[in-house]
Structure 1
């Protein structure tokens, strides 16, 4: 037998097997997280330095733009008992924030309970879409302060107008996202389910709803952000305890440091809340973004 008759080799170039190992991938992800965290901390440091430089230069009066240290002291005062005073208006900052988060949770929860079924119906039943979509768009374009006075007239100054305002603010994005997601479900999935004998309700609940779930969760996440931006408006009327009411009272007495401290509390808690929702999305729809 000659060399030409010898069987050809099908061997694969040797590798150490470590490039794609789970340990290597985890180490790479951890390194990336550390790099992004360092970049964010650097950006924060630059912002604080620029803020302090503006204050030191006297560009604006200190009553309008306090120094970062003054804002920190206001944050500490609002979070502790000092000189016999408990936080601000008798409540600690965390208590103000907890009340506001409760209102946001109730408002967004009620909006989701109504908005998801409404969006499903709008996305599937064309006559309902013709009638209801303009109403949803109308509500989506209204700023919260535009109907707050009307809600106060209807429901008084207790909790009801605040919750209703957040419901109305959060309902349109959930409904619109659900309707668009349902309409975007591939027709092949629907036709396959019908070919297997599924009725309209089964197709809606077993095919359309699961396929649209990623976009529905995104709509709810956006609605939470909208409700968060509306909570200060909701708490301008009898909003203490509440982070918006605390900021309103501080504004009345030109306590700019406390106003900024309240805004920082809202922003930081919003970041944590958004991270929580992103975790829920990853757990609920792990197939999202994958082929």
Structure 2
């Protein structure tokens, strides 16, 4: 009992130390940024001062950017990102699991995914615009394709590395193929599924800027691109910081869901 209590105290101290390291890293980066701009080591047009970035953020928060509020830009970007993410969940997870579970499905899906996965998004975005128009549908399709491959591969890999003993044991206990898939294969693959989902969010978010390059007038990615035309590095920094923070929030939400859905992860 005493040993368990000591272990818990050690774990709490470790968590506090990690938080302190995180806070220290952020403060050091801010101090370096402040010193770099105050000492004029780089032109302000390339690296704006923290005060200028904060002032621009307050101005955009109050006045908006190019006739649209900051909330509108953020809402439209999140709508495009989350819409594609929902489609990825509904399609990539079942197809990936089936591909790992069934060699015939894998023979159909794997070459298609492996063919388009290395392609740069802008290489086929023009085709999506021609086929689907310049509205949000082509942008969502681009983000969907960017996020589909990581989730599909993670799910397929999770099934294929599953120990055969688990499946054989379920068969021995009288389970049929459907029960094995839903009660053995799917739960065992949940850690890999969440890794794929977290990777997909990052890949889709990096593709968001490319998606908002064509015929968009709203979105955080569009705001960054538009500001770059006028060398407004302060607004570019504002957009990048907003995208980084929202990306961290989405990832934190996925990790929280993972802790609830996969409580056994890391406790083997």
**Per-residue Cα deviation, 1:24-78 (whole angstroms, up to 9, x for no partner):** 83x6555444433332222222222222332234343221221111111111111
Tell me whether 1:54 sits opposite 2:36 in the alignment: yes
Tell me whether 1:110 sits opposite 2:87 in the alignment: yes
Q: 1:79 aligns with which of 30, 47, 61?
A: 61
Taking the aligned partners of 1:144 and 1:32, their CA distance within structure 2 comes to: 41
User: In the alignment, what sits opposite 1:235?
Assistant: 212
Tell me whether 1:202 sits opposite 2:179 in the alignment: yes
Gaps of 5+ in 1: 1-16, 81-85
Secondary structure, counterpart of 1:237 in structure 2? coil
Taking the aligned partners of 1:53 and 1:101, their CA distance within structure 2 comes to: 34
User: In the alignment, what sits opposite 1:9?
Assistant: none
Shift, 1:273, TM fit: 1.4
Relative to the length of structure 2, the TM-score reads 0.92
Shift, 1:187, TM fit: 0.8
Give the alignment of 1:93-242 within 5 angstroms.
93-242=70-219
Tell me whether 1:20 sits opposite 2:10 in the alignment: no
Shift, 1:253, TM fit: 1.5
Shift, 1:93, TM fit: 2.4
Secondary structure, counterpart of 2:216 in structure 1? coil
Shift, 1:181, TM fit: 0.6
**Per-residue Cα deviation, 1:203-223 (whole angstroms, up to 9, x for no partner):** 222211111112112211111
Gaps of 5+ in 2: none
Root mean square deviation of aligned Cα: 2.0
Which structure carries more helix by proportion? Answer: 2
**Per-residue Cα deviation, 1:157-190 (whole angstroms, up to 9, x for no partner):** 1110110001100001111011111112211111
Q: Is the 8 A contact 1:71 1:261 kept in 2?
A: yes
**CA shift in 2, pair 1:92/1:141, >3 Å:** same
**Per-residue Cα deviation, 1:134-173 (whole angstroms, up to 9, x for no partner):** 2112222122111111111111111101100011000011
Taking the aligned partners of 1:202 and 1:38, their CA distance within structure 2 comes to: 46
Q: 1:43 aligns with which of 18, 21, 25?
A: 25
Q: Is the 8 A contact 1:178 1:212 kept in 2?
A: yes
User: In the alignment, what sits opposite 2:67?
Assistant: 90
